[in-house]
Structures are given as C-alpha cells and as structure tokens.
Amino acid sequence: MKIKIILALALSWFCLNQKVLAQAQWYVDVDFPEDVYFDTLHIILPGNDKVLLLGKEFKELSLFADHAEALKTTFIADLKAAYASGKLSADAQEVYYFYKNAAQRRVKAEAAEYTEKRVDVAQEMLRMDLLLPKHKFVILDMENKMEWQLYVNNPDSLAYKLENTNIKQAIEVGTANKKYRRQSTQLWVKTDSSAYSLSHFQHKRQLSFSVGPTVGLSVFGSKMAPNLGIWAMFQHQGKYGTSPYKFGLGLTEYIFADFDEGKISNYQETRAIEAMLMFNTGWRSKNAKWFGLQGGIIQSSKENELHNATKFSVISNGNGPLGWTFDIITTRSNKLVYGVTLNLPF
C-alpha cells in the first residue's frame, strides 16, 4: 500500500509540473517568445544595408532557400504597390509585412511621429551592437515560422537592392559548411550583388565545470529524512550556450531520527555516493528542463537495512518549482525500498 501511495504521489508531482505548449513556436517581435533561441543569417548588402533571417536552425534554413527567393519577389511587388497607392508613407521608419500564403498578405507601418517618440531600449542596443541603419522593414513569414529584418539607410533603394540580391544564393553560401552550420548561432554573408562569401560566424560552445550544493527532503519507505549534498558537474555547452547533457559526481547526507514526545532518538547519518547523467529536453530554450538517471552506494553510521545498499533514481529538475527524484533502493538482503525526494532549486 505504501509503495502505491509513493508511486501515485510521484506521478502526480510529475504531471502537475509539466508545461504544455499549445501555441506555435515563434521567435522574436510580435508575440514571439523571448525564451527560445534561434539561428540568424546576416546578409550584408552594399552600402551596409543588412538583411537578417531569423527563426530556423541553419540546417532547416538551407531547405528554405527557394521559398525565400519567391517570398522576396512577392514582398517587393507588394511594397511597390503600397508606396504607389499611398498606403505606405515614404518617411515610415518601421514597416511590417505579414505573409500567411499567396492569398493572405498585407503591409502595415508605424507612423514616423510615433516611432520617433517611442524608445525601444533593446532595439537601440541591437542597432549599436550590429551597426544597423535607421529604417527597419520586418517580414513575418507565418507559413514557415520565419522572420526577416531588413535595415536600410534609404528606403527608396530597398526594392532595387533586393531585386539585385539573390537571397537563395546567399542562404546556400551561408549554410554550405556543415561544421559551421551545426556549431554556429549566427553566420555573416557579404555580397556586392554579384558574388557571395561567408565572412565570419559566432557560437557559444564550451566545456564547463561547477560545484554546488543540494538541499531536499526524502521519504524512504515509511521514514522521512532531510538531506544536504554537494555535486561536481561537468557540462558541454552547445552553440546556444545551453547544455544538452551533463555528468556529475556527488555526496549526499541523509539524517534519520525518531521523534517521540519532543525527544529525538535513534539518530543516524546515512550518506550516498552517486554518479548522475542528465539530459536537457529544453536545450534550445533559456529555461533548462533536466531529466536523467542517478545511482550509487549508500553507507550508514549504524548497521541497518540501508547500510551498503545500492540506490537507483530517476531525476527531474527545472520542470516546476521543485526538483524531484524517484528512488529505488536495493538492500543487502535484496529487499526493495522505494522513495521520493524533493529538492530545493539552486
């Protein structure tokens, strides 16, 4: 009966702490969640005008080249029509082009007066960091979950420059090298409208080592024990600066005691020496979600059923306010003891 209750509690905790994403995964601007990392291809045009393609991993972007070229042609036609009809002012500093399919597309712009009064701190910092021109055009490709950001010094020259830029070729050149494509978060392609070349790339890959504490509360069978531990973790950070997996060694101390009429008796210390291997299921997100396995040997200060027992655990961290482990302990007499541990976040 106790085992069933523990299993039910563990399952309930797991289910309550899962987050279900029912919305489409957008990336930046206009309701794109900021907690999702994305790859960016920079295309540097003559005159330091720039086209930024954001959203897809470079491997996916390489398959997007033909559609991107066709979308560019449609955008130019709609942009010219908007200027000619007067729907788009020549002094507009921010223009948005929404594309869902060939039959559903539109051009919207923010008035220059409003743009001048509004201060977007993040945007201004980005402009200074990347030396971006003043006028901004955004293409939101709703069909392919892609965003284009186009920065130009003179809006009148945008259509002409795009007509003389082969977006398909720029994408193919930028994503041709499989190593750079796999390891980089940003790639820069330069063009003089006749030739395209990869100029440089950027990533956040590195190895890291950390040491940190753990504090929690465990229930093994019918016994409850607070615990305090220390873990040394080795992590390999991927191109987004997040770790897809980590490995660690740790020592955890459990305190068992009986309380009767305000008195403490049968005090004993039990420690577990363990190894851990965890995988980050949210590796492309800024919010890590860790699942993994942990196992080791238990030593107790007194001869009891936990002394020299082996421990195996399933772990979850980052999937709710507390981390948890579901533990299976095999005693020296081959008796199974089940447990649940809740860990405070650090």
Domain boundaries, the chain: 40-202, 205-343
Closest CA to 10 of 343, 341, 346: 341
- So what's the pLDDT on residue 346? 62
Structure tokens at 96: 């948005």
- So what's the pLDDT on residue 76? 94
DSSP 19-78: ----S----SSTT--TTB---EEEEE-GGG-EEEEESS-HHHHTTSHHHHHHHHHHHHHH
- So what's the pLDDT on residue 313? 95
- What CATH architecture applies to the domain 205-343? Beta Barrel (2.40)
- Asked if residue 325 lies in contact with residue 217, where contact means CB atoms within 8 angstroms, the answer is no
The Cα 163–Cα 167 span in angstroms is 10
The Cα 146–Cα 27 span in angstroms is 8
Q: Per-residue confidence of the chain (346 residues) as pLDDT tens digits?
A: 444 444 444 444 444 443 332 222 333 333 344 445 578 899 998 888 999 998 778 888 888 889 999 999 999 999 999 988 888 887 788 899 999 988 899 998 876 555 455 666 766 777 777 778 888 899 999 888 888 999 998 888 888 889 988 999 999 998 888 888 888 888 889 887 678 888 877 777 778 888 999 999 999 888 889 999 999 999 887 777 778 889 999 999 998 887 776 676 777 889 999 999 999 887 767 678 889 999 999 998 887 788 889 999 999 987 767 889 999 999 988 899 999 999 887 6
Closest CA to 231 of 243, 215, 244, 207: 215
- So what's the pLDDT on residue 32? 41
The Cα 307–Cα 212 span in angstroms is 26
The Cα 336–Cα 123 span in angstroms is 58
- So what's the pLDDT on residue 302? 80
pTM above 0.75, yes or no: no
- So what's the pLDDT on residue 282? 76
- So what's the pLDDT on residue 28? 38
94: β partners: 110, 136
- So what's the pLDDT on residue 117? 55
- Asked if residue 165 lies in contact with residue 195, where contact means CB atoms within 8 angstroms, the answer is no
- Asked if residue 233 lies in contact with residue 247, where contact means CB atoms within 8 angstroms, the answer is yes
Closest CA to 149 of 54, 77, 71: 54
- So what's the pLDDT on residue 193? 65
- Asked if residue 225 lies in contact with residue 256, where contact means CB atoms within 8 angstroms, the answer is yes
The Cα 231–Cα 209 span in angstroms is 11
- So what's the pLDDT on residue 261? 67
